[in-house]
Structure 1
Amino acid sequence: MNFALILLILLLLSGAIWAADALFLRKRRAADAKEPWWVEYGASFFPVILIVFVLRSFIVEPFKIPSGSMIPTLLVGDFILVNKYTYGIRLPVANLKVIDLNEPQRGDVMVFRYPEDPSLDYIKRVVGVPGDIVAYQNKRLTINGKPVPVEQVADYLHPERLYYSEQYVEKLGEGEHRMLNDQDAPPFIPHPAQFPHRDNCSYNSAGVICTVPPGEYFVMGDNRDNSRDSRFWGFVPDENIVGKAFFIWLNFGDFKRIGSFR
């Protein structure tokens, strides 16, 4: 469901009713006449819809984490806020960038339209920016020939499935984050798709090596062995970017998680 398109249609309809009433209909009604129900509701909802549309389109958008691909950073059921203007101002629905502000950086947690089905929003961590050579070999990440620093910490217990994953603190870009590996998962990438710029990637028994094309990004989940990401379906083009995730505002199962991510 394209909620942005639905919101735009409601905005245009309620705005047309509000304008028609303000410019024409109100003048033709008797002073003591009651507004028709469709005018009353349409005109009263217009400012509310306008505020929601502006906030959601240009400032922040709520997003619910649907899967465990970003564990341990983000858990299933986390409700997060996505900054819509960090990477530039885009037109609603068309997602066309009209004001260029910043570019995604390595380490950013980014929401984007899934390249294989743009009706779906995905969330992953930016690993490679345009021009980078990203190598994920034997479950270790290298960028432009330099290994990304990692430090192993205590294993992570998945509370719902009751099994442990190896846990590391990884320094990517200017910040650090935790990521997981499963010992029993193979390092190779099974059945990668035939995505655009597929020739930029080389697959082998140890994993994958990719050169990131101009205007595109290589993204991965923090739950490395339980994430379908750029290793499988390719790069994220700039026009698919929605925004930068920065804040957990609700989790019904664990209120302590509120504000735990930035």
Structure 2
Amino acid sequence: MSVADTSGKKSGGLGETVSVIVQALLLALVIRTLLFQPFSIPSGSMRPTLLEGDYLFVTKWAYGYSRYSLPFSPDLFSGRIWGSEPERGDVVVFKFPPNPSIDYIKRVVGLPGDKIQMRGGQLFINDEGVAREMIGQVDNRDITEVSRPVDIYRETLPNGVSYETFDLTQNGIGDDTREFIVPEGHYFMLGDNRDNSADSRFNVGFVPYDHLVGRANIIFFSIAGGASPLEIWKWPSEVRFGRLFDFIR
């Protein structure tokens, strides 16, 4: 075998390795852009449904695709393609309207044309109170983020979607609001942790349809104590094994 033959084989091996890496990166980009995007929970606004340290998959095709569905939100087109409407009760990742570089996650409670208002801590949709039942208290700092018992309510929307919410304080600043009329092409979002959520009652405002990124579907990993998933030595004590592969409702 000649020196030239050996060099060619080495070069071919390197080229093949580079090709495999490029193909893998392109496949990962396609999956992240069109199918699933991983998302980590940075705050307690969706407690008790979602906790800091939860890692979940967001379904990108659920509402079709807009520029905000794509990495870095390139201005390639306007509106949505293959679009479908979110349902009331969906937990949605969306771009923060005042600053679309920031991702938010909340629950859709108001659809276009709805009248939304909070009265005494109860959600009203089109002047009808949403069913709300106190089901007990939670006294677990990892879940509540506070060192005291917290009231937990089960809320059931008109379409039957049911989930739990926290009531951290009586007569909180967001417990009584003005009436909001949701414009066409927009949605009203609330956090399940009603007294600790920046949502459509406050600076988030109405969320445009094209700002929706996708629907949150499943928790694939969860770790407590502010630990990083890379800190494998903390897994035995900090991983919330009971939350792994939980579907989000």
**TM tier, shorter chain?**
0.7 to 0.9
What are the ranges of 5 or more consecutive residues in structure 1 without an aligned counterpart?
A: 1-28, 190-204
Corresponding residue number in structure 1 for 2:156: 171
Q: Aligned-pair distance for 1:165?
A: 1.9
Residues 1:220 and 2:194 are matched in the alignment? no
In the alignment, is residue 162 of structure 1 matched against residue 147 of structure 2? yes
Q: 1:180 aligns with which of 155, 160, 166?
A: 166
- Does the CA contact (< 8 Å) of 1:139 and 1:207 recur in 2? no
Return closer, same or farther for 1:46/1:177 CA change in 2, 3 Å cut-off.
Answer: same
Name the counterpart of 1:123.
105
Report 1:50-65 matches (<5 A). 50-65=26-41
Q: Does residue 1:153 correspond to 2:124, yes or no? A: no
Distance 1:212 1:114, change over 3 A: same
Superposed CA deviations along residues 179-200 of structure 1, whole A, max 9, x for unmatched, are: 011234x3434xxxxxxxxxxx
Matched, 1:259 2:245: yes
- 1:158/1:164 contact within 8 Å kept: yes
CA distance, structure 1, for counterparts of residue 80 and residue 123 of structure 2:
34
Establish whether residue 235 from structure 1 lines up as the match of residue 210 from structure 2. Answer: no
C-alpha distance after superposition, 1:165-224 (max 9, x if no partner): 21111012331000011234x3434xxxxxxxxxxxxxxx93232000111111010000
Indicate how the Cα distance of structure 1 residues 256 and 131 shifts in structure 2: closer, same or farther if over 3 A, else same: same
Match of 1:66 among 23, 42, 53: 42
Once the 2 structures are TM-superposed, how far is the Cα of residue 123 of structure 1 from its aligned partner?
0.4
After TM superposition, the structure 1 stretch with the greater mean CA deviation from structure 2, 29-38 or 168-177, is: 29-38
Change (3 A) 1:98 1:163: same
Partner Cα distance (1:130, 1:30) in 2: 68
SS of 2:219 mapped into structure 1: strand
Q: Distance in 2 between matches of 1:131 and 1:137?
A: 19
Structure 1 position 249 matched with structure 2 position 220: yes
**Partner AA of 1:54 in structure 2:** V
Residue aligning to 2:60: 84
Deviation at 1:240, TM superposition (A): 1.0
Moved more, 98-107 or 115-124: 98-107
Quote the Cα distance in structure 1 between the aligned partners of 2:135 and 2:7. 74
SS in 1 for 2:201: helix
Alignment correspondent of 1:23: none
The number of aligned residues is 218
Distance (Å, rounded) in 2 between the aligned partners of 1:49 and 1:188: 47
Partner of 2:236: none
Q: Alignment identity in percent?
A: 37
2:21 to 36, 45, 49: 45
TM-superposed deviation, 1:114? 1.0
Deviations 1:220-257 (A, max 9, x none): 10000010111112111112110000101011330110
Unpaired segments of 5 or more residues in structure 2? 224-238
Partner of 2:228: none
TM-score by length of 2: 0.79
- RMSD of equivalent CA atoms: 2.4
Question: Does the 8 Å CA contact 2:173/2:195 hold for their aligned counterparts?
Answer: no
Q: Distance in 1 between matches of 2:186 and 2:87?
A: 12
Q: CA–CA distance in 1 between the matches of 2:22 and 2:103?
A: 27
* TM-score (structure 1 length as normaliser): 0.76
Following TM superposition, by how much is the alpha carbon of 1:90 offset from its aligned partner in structure 2, in angstroms?
A: 3.7
Show the counterpart of 1:144.
126
Cα deviation for residue 97 of structure 1 reads 5.0
Distance in 2, matches of 1:39 and 1:255, equals 42
